[in-house]
Amino acid sequence: MTAWPSNQPPERRVSAEQRQVWRERFGESDRAAGIEVTDDFERFNQIDDMFTRAFWDDSVRSKHTDGFFASYRMKAAPRRGEGFSLKDFALRNAAWAVSDMVSERAGAEGKREGFQSAIELTTQVADEQLDIEDPPAFSREIKEIAKMFGADLVGICEHDERWLYSARVDTRDFSEHENKLPDAITHVIVLGHSMDRELVDTYPSALAGVSTGLEYSHEAAIVIQLASYIRNLGYEAIPSMNDTGLVIPLAVKAGLGEYGRNQMVITPEYGPRLRFSKIFTSLPLIHDRPNDKGIKSYCNICTKCADQCPPKALPFGPPEDAPKNRSTIRGVKKWSADCEKCFSYWAKLKSDCAICMRVCPFNRDYVSWTDRLWRSLATSRFRKLALQWDRRFPNGKRQKPGDWWARLAGNFRSQ
Ligand code: SF4
Ligand code: SF4
């Protein structure tokens, strides 16, 4: 039984027939990806996203949430000492600058591109279409092109309309609008963008938020460039960041990682220290296959992220289909945070929090053999040994933001 009633209007509710079609089409790959969809499933409405609710929902909106968004402009950025100084906020806000340019350019039309609206390209789909004779080879090639543009991980999955938002919002008045992609879309290219580990180590701080802003700015440039390339080849491509649909199930379906207790996709290469973007395309590609990497099994015996979450927003028990409020998708059995508690902590901090990313034992670079040995143990039947290891020698200890600045100064003093 779900604890939150459906708030979808009847015309947007998913019918039993539609669920059956999806079960037949995606059941096998859902099982391989560890995704459990139940009979209560409904597509997520973007109006329910926490960041959107903070503008229209009086049960969420407060002086703290208004102050959170305002702090991304210097005149409203607070000064609270180490990690939250003028320089920390200045650097954080600068890191967002490219993403902001994209998201603000159509604000007058109610479109916050990359967040509440898909990014609109000036590049049109070319009339001449490349003949793709070898889709497997072309799929490998397009992944390399994505990496050339700057993506760290790339995977491909089938287009799966279950994860599209049931409606998108107009940011002028928060009215709901149709969220539809061109019929020709068949695949999604999912891109992973790794975050700077030394900055992540300083969470919670405004300085740490530089790692988030940097990757949104990188994402914006990379999806625009890759989608333009695909359109130049004569195929449809819609570049997308947080807009249009949920990226987490797509990243898992594309075989990039597994869903963790901290609500992040945990990858073998970077652990949870990534952001994801996507391109919806009509290219004839070969999709990747998710497999059991042993990560979720580790999360089953670990609660480090939940233990260290300041507002206790993360779950301690097994995955369940019991949304605590309207910001959780209905009908997916999974670990779900209480997003209201989480965002209210961000709002008081006046910056994003990712303590649950920093402390996760998978948050490593895997450059040293000890990190690789830990991962081998953690993803094997010896996972309890890895758990003991992390308890004895925990990774992800918070670094002081002042030390990050001192290291930066040391770099140029030693030159
Ligand atoms: S981001 Fe921070 S507040 Fe939110 S769940 Fe993670 S640790 Fe908790
Ligand atoms: S801290 Fe532990 S439980 Fe949380 S996501 Fe990481 S491995 Fe999973």
Q: In whole angstroms, what is the distance from residue 112 CA to residue 278 CA?
A: 17
Choosing from 64, 212, 309, 312 the residue with most ligand 1 atoms within 8 A of its CB, the one to mutate for a pocket test is: 309
pLDDT at residue 389 in the model: 97
**260 within 8 A of 360, measured Cβ to Cβ:** yes
Q: Over the chain, what HEC string results? A: CCCCCCCCCHHHCCCHHHHHHHHHHHHHHHHHHCCEECCCCCCCCHHHCHHHHHHHCCCCCCHHHHHHHHCCCHHHCCCCCCCCCHHHHHHHHHHCHHHHHHHHCCHHHCCCECCCECCCCCCCCCCCCCCCCCHHHHHHHHHHHHHHHCCCEEEEEECCHHHECCCEEECCCCEEECCCCCCCCCEEEEEEEECCHHHHCCCCCCCCHHHHHHHHHHHHHHHHHHHHHHHHCCCCEEEECCCCECCHHHHHHCCCCEECCCCCEEECCCECCEEEEEEEECCCCCCCCCCCCCHHHHHHHCCHHHHHCCCCCCCCCCCECCCCCCCCCCCEEECCCCHHHHHHHHHHHCCCCCHHHHCCCCCCCCCCHHHHHHHHHHCCCCHHHHHHHHHHCCCCCCCCHHHHHHHHHHHHHCC
- Residue 356 Cβ < 6 Å to ligand 1: yes
Kindly give the number of the ligand 2 atom that is closest to the alpha carbon of 262: 5
Question: In Å, how far from its chain's centre is CA 268?
Answer: 16
pLDDT at residue 4 in the model: 54
pLDDT at residue 5 in the model: 59
Q: Would you say residue 388 lies in a domain? A: no
Q: Would you say residue 413 lies in a domain? A: no
Cα dist from 141 to 108, 135, 136, 144, 146, whole Å:
38, 10, 9, 5, 9
Choosing from 335, 360, 377 the residue with most ligand 2 atoms within 8 A of its CB, the one to mutate for a pocket test is: 360
Encoding tokens for residue 81? 């000492």
Q: In whole angstroms, what is the distance from residue 147 CA to residue 141 CA?
A: 10
Give the dihedral sign, CA 55/60/62/64: negative
pLDDT at residue 88 in the model: 98
Q: Would you say residue 178 lies in a domain? A: yes
How many angstroms does the Cα of residue 309 sit away from the middle of ligand 1? 5
- Residue 26 Cβ < 6 Å to ligand 2: no
The residue range of the domain holding 257 is 10-360+396-405
Q: Would you say residue 250 lies in a domain? A: yes
The residue nearest atom 2 of ligand 1, judged by CA position, is 353
Q: Would you say residue 332 lies in a domain? A: yes
Q: Would you say residue 412 lies in a domain? A: no
The model's pTM = 0.95
How many angstroms does the Cα of residue 207 sit away from the middle of ligand 1? 16
Number of domains in the chain: 1
How many angstroms does the Cα of residue 132 sit away from the middle of ligand 1? 44
Q: In whole angstroms, what is the distance from residue 60 CA to residue 53 CA?
A: 7
Q: How many CB atoms lie within 10 A of CB 126?
A: 13
How many angstroms does the Cα of residue 351 sit away from the middle of ligand 1? 12
Residue by residue, pLDDT tens for the chain (415 residues) are: 444 556 677 778 888 899 999 999 999 999 999 999 999 899 999 999 999 999 999 999 999 999 999 999 999 999 989 999 999 999 999 999 999 999 999 999 999 999 999 999 999 999 999 999 999 999 999 999 999 999 999 999 999 999 999 999 999 999 999 999 999 999 999 999 999 999 999 999 999 999 999 999 999 999 999 999 999 999 999 999 999 999 999 999 999 999 999 999 999 999 999 999 999 999 999 999 999 999 999 999 999 999 999 999 999 999 999 888 999 999 999 999 999 999 999 999 999 999 999 999 999 999 999 999 999 999 999 999 999 999 999 999 999 999 999 999 988 777 6
pLDDT at residue 6 in the model: 65
pLDDT at residue 116 in the model: 93
Q: Would you say residue 400 lies in a domain? A: yes
Q: Would you say residue 2 lies in a domain? A: no
